[in-house]
Amino acid sequence: MIEAIAMHLAGQASESFMIRLIRWLNPVMEPVVVLVLLLLLIMSAACWGIIFHKWRVLNRAHAQSIEFLETFWSSRRLDAIYNTSEKLQSSPIAQVFRAGYQELSKVRKTQAENEAGVMSSVMGGIENVQRALRRASVAELTHMESLVPFLATTGSAAPFIGLFGTVVGIMKAFVEIRPGSATLDTVGPGISHALVATAVGLFAAIPAVMAYNYFVRRIKVLNSEIETFSSDFLNIVKRHFLK
C-alpha cells in the first residue's frame, strides 16, 4: 500500500515537472514553429529552383549529345569533329571526346618525335588516352550530379522537420488550455495550425523525391552513353591511329 502511494506521488511529481517544463518552454514554441515553416519553405523554393535548372541542363546535354554523335559518326576527320565540338559545350559526350582527342594529339606528337620503342610508345599512348577519357567521364558525371543530392536530402528530411513543427505546435495548443475549457473549439484551431507544418513538409518532400528519381535515371542514361562512346572512340584510336 505504501509503495503504491509512493509510486502515485512520484508519478504526480514527474507529471507536474513535465507540465512545468512545457509551460516554461511555451514562449519559444511559436517561434520554433515559425522557424520550421520558414525552413521548409526555403528548402521547397531551393528544390524547385534546382528542379528547373537541372531539367534545363539535362535537356540541353541530351540534345547536344545527339547532335555530336550524329556529327561524329558521319565525319571521317577527327580534327573537324573537334572543331564542331567547341560549339557543343553542354554535351558531356563532346567534352569527353575533346579530352580524348587532345591526349591523342599529344601521344601522336610524342610518337613522331621518338621512333625508337614504337610498341611501348603505342601501348603507353593507348593507356594515356584511356585515362584521359576516364578522367573526363568522371568530371562530366560529377557535373551532372551536382545539386541533385540536395533533392534527396529534402525528400528524406522535410517530413520529419514538418512533424517536429507539428509536435511543438500541438504541445503549445494543449498547454494553453484553461481548466474547464478543453473543448474542440478551443483546441482545434491550435492543432490545425500545427498540422500545417506537416503539410508543408510533405509539400517540400514529395516533388523533391520524384525529381530526384527522375534526374538519377536520366543521368544514368547519359553516363551509359558516355561509357559506350568512350569504348567506341578507344577502339577507333587503336585501329586507325595507334598501331
| 135 located within any domain | yes
pLDDT > 90? residue 96: yes
The answer to the question of residue 18 being in a domain is no
Confidence of residue 9 (pLDDT cuts 50, 70, 90): very low
Per-residue model confidence (pLDDT) at position 170: 81
Q: For residue 206, count other CB atoms closer than 10 A to its CB.
A: 13
Average pLDDT for residues 69-79, to the nearest whole number? 91
Burial class (CB in 10 A: 0-12, 13-18, 19+), 24: exposed
Has residue 5 been placed in a domain? Answer: no
Please compute, for residue 134, the number of CA atoms within 13 A of its CA located in the half-sphere on the CB side. Answer: 6
Segment 224-237 shows an average pLDDT of: 94
For position 140, what pLDDT does the model report?
Answer: 96
* Domain ranges, residue 155: 29-240
Please indicate, yes or no, if residue 108 is contained in any of the structural domains: yes
Measured over the CA atoms of residue 110, residue 116, residue 118 and residue 124, the dihedral's sign is: negative
Q: Is residue 15 part of a domain?
A: no
Domain count, the chain: 1
On the question of pLDDT at 13 being above 50, the answer is no
pLDDT at 122: 60
Would residue 3 count as lying in a domain? no
State the pLDDT confidence band at 238, using cuts at 50, 70 and 90.
confident
pLDDT, average across residues 69-95: 93
Q: Is residue 95 part of a domain?
A: yes
Q: Which three cell numbers stand for residue 42?
A: 526555403
**pLDDT, position 27:** 60
In a domain, 4, yes or no: no
Q: What is the pLDDT of residue 191?
A: 76
What's the rounded mean pLDDT across residues 161-185? 74
For the chain, what is the mean pLDDT?
Answer: 83
Report the pLDDT averaged over residues 155-179.
Answer: 83
Least confident of 23-37, 135-149, 152-166: 23-37
Is 47 within 8 Å of 151 (Cβ atoms)? yes
- What pLDDT score was predicted for residue 155? 96
Burial class (CB in 10 A: 0-12, 13-18, 19+), 115: exposed
pTM: 0.81
% residues pLDDT > 70 (the chain): 75
Identify the pLDDT of residue 20: 64
Tell me how many degrees the CA angle 146-150-155 measures, rounded to the nearest 5. Answer: 140
Mean pLDDT score, 115-125: 58
* Alpha-carbon gap, residue 216 to 145, rounded angstroms: 8
Whether the CB-CB separation of 56 and 215 falls below 8 Å is answered with: no
